[in-house]
Amino acid sequence: MTEVAKLILDGKELELPVITGTEGEKAIDIRSLRQQTGHITFDPGFGNTGTCRSAITYMDGEQGILRYRGYPIEQLAEHSTFVETAFLLITGQLPNRDELIRTSVDLNDFSTLHENMKAFYQNYPPKAHPMGILSAMVNAMRSFYPELQDDVEEEMNKTYLRLISKIRTMAAMAYRITKGERVVYPRPDLCYCANFLNMMFDSAVVPYYMDDDLVRALNVFWILHADHEQNCSTTAVRVVGSGKVNIYSAISAGISALWGPLHGGANQAVISMLERIHRDGLTIDECVAKAKDRKDPFRLMGFGHRVYKTYDPRAKIMKKMCDIVLSKVSQADPLLDIARRLEEMALSDPYFIEKDLYPNVDFYSGIVLRAMGIPTNMFTVMFAIGRLPGWISQWKEDWSDPEMKISRPRQIYSGALVRDYVPMSEREPAN
């Protein structure tokens, strides 16, 4: 017998179906609510609203669980690569050896940019933010690499790989050009992550030394950020995609949504906080006291999480990589020293433990990126590169969903009641 929820409204009883997910999650199906009652639900931020059925990512914030296509994030971070994880998210299955080799070859083949696209970079203001450049350049790709109109699966797969490959090239190119340095092109002998680091930091004067631990750290960073259920940027991709726009425009919207400081900018905010602590000469005890004072505007960034009510499973993994990367840093960095002391405090202070304010993935990822030499204004770009496979898989799933409809939320109107137009000659002068 199908489970139902009963709603009593205006003396009438209404039965609403209950939908159960494969992990036991339950949702009340309210699609017929307005038609049957004239009422809608009110849920700012959609924190209690399911907008789709998805087979991509499972999260349990209370238990600290994150899985891609059923695979625990811990196993993927330990054994997988970013390219393999991207294949998993988009296709639903781990690749066999031949599929992985073919995917890697295609990523290398697609890694260069159309020569005419490079002219765009020369015309951006020198201080343009890399996220703004990236969003615009991804949108521009539609003109240079149009999709086939008949939606052939093989051609769409090439489009996905083209996006994943070229976003890495565009990000590195934006960084080099804003620094006034020559562009470094991808090398066919390097893997995806190693290629990115080489494109960022190689120099004709001082060739970039490829450290396997840093390559692994970047792999893990991107795996941990590859998808995270229906967050702000993923929802933006689905909402824009529901209008049946091309995938480039939908991904561009996701990049723009990720740019916000409350979403993708969180790891950048961690570094800004550490810089302020160092600049103002605050002690760790003073930071803790200010963080506990609700009247004080100071906030400890990178602690706690909106979804995870226990330790962020990604943070545990990123902490291990953080320790490895920091062991490679030869020169002293006062911000990294402050971060270490903050971490020790948060893991031992009863106030933070009781409120589940553990260091989250943004805390450790910000430290890792800084230690690797990634400039702060590139942090969100790094996030976007990692999240791209998730956006693609969510866009793809939405397009193939027979229940998919164009997004059209309702509202509760709170404006003026009806009023008649007043001619200009009869209006009272403004005070």
Residues of the chain falling short of pLDDT 70: 1, 147-151, 330-331, 431
* Alpha carbons 81 and 78: distance in angstroms, whole number: 9
Cβ atoms of 36 and 14 closer than 8 Å = yes
67 forms beta bridges with: 58, 72
Say how far residue 47 (Cα) sits from the centre of its chain: 17
* Alpha carbons 67 and 126: distance in angstroms, whole number: 40
Going along the chain from its start, the domains and CATH numbers come out as: 4-50 (2.20.28.60)
Cβ atoms of 158 and 146 closer than 8 Å = no
Catalytic residue among 227, 305, 312, 398: 305
Instruction: Write b or e for each residue in 384-398: b if 16 or more Cβ atoms lie within 10 A of its Cβ, otherwise e.
Output: bbbbbbbbbbbbbbb
Instruction: State the alpha helices, DSSP H only, in 50-110.
Output: 73-79, 82-91, 97-109
Cβ atoms of 290 and 296 closer than 8 Å = yes
**What pLDDT is recorded for position 204?**
81
Task: Check if 305 is active-site.
Answer: yes
**What pLDDT is recorded for position 119?**
79
* Alpha carbons 314 and 296: distance in angstroms, whole number: 29
Contacts of 204 by beta carbon, 8 Å cutoff, 6+ apart: 182
Contacts of 199 by beta carbon, 8 Å cutoff, 6+ apart: 168, 169, 172, 173, 176, 184, 185, 186
Catalytic residue among 362, 398, 401, 420: 362
Helix (H) or strand (E) holding 14, with range, is strand 12-20
Question: For residue 5, with 0-12 CB atoms within 10 Å meaning exposed, 13-18 middle and 19 or more buried, which class applies?
Answer: middle
Task: Check if 362 is active-site.
Answer: yes
**What pLDDT is recorded for position 385?**
97
Determine phi and psi for 303, rounding to 5 degrees. Answer: -125, 135
Cβ atoms of 235 and 229 closer than 8 Å = no
Contacts of 95 by beta carbon, 8 Å cutoff, 6+ apart: 84, 87, 88, 103
**What pLDDT is recorded for position 307?**
84
Paired tokens of 199: 């494109």
**What pLDDT is recorded for position 115?**
83
| Residue 357: strand, helix, or coil | coil
- Count CA within 13 A, CB hemisphere, residue 336: 19
